[in-house]
Amino acid sequence: MQAPNIVEILKLLPKTNCGDCNEATCLVFSTRVAEGVKTTEDCPHIPADAKEKLNRYLAPYNFDF
């Protein structure tokens, strides 16, 4: 199975580049999510509805956290 699409993940992020997730930008954060290194819980600014959509999108990839 292919990895999750970084752009699809980024679309659901707040795109504030705040660094509260300990990554430099939301693009880097989305890359880390696609790699299975970060989860939606690592970004404190994702709205609940976006977090739910993102978790549904990521579910088929079966990351072990």
Residues 10-65: tens digit of each pLDDT: 999 999 999 999 999 999 999 999 999 999 999 999 999 999 999 999 999 887 65
Q: How far apart are CA 25 and CA 63, in angstroms?
A: 22
Please name which of 54, 64, 3 lies closest in space to residue 26, comparing C-alpha atoms. 54
For the chain, the domains span 6-61
pLDDT of residue 62: 81
Task: Assess whether pLDDT exceeds 80 at residue 1.
Answer: no
Class of CATH domain 6-61: mainly alpha
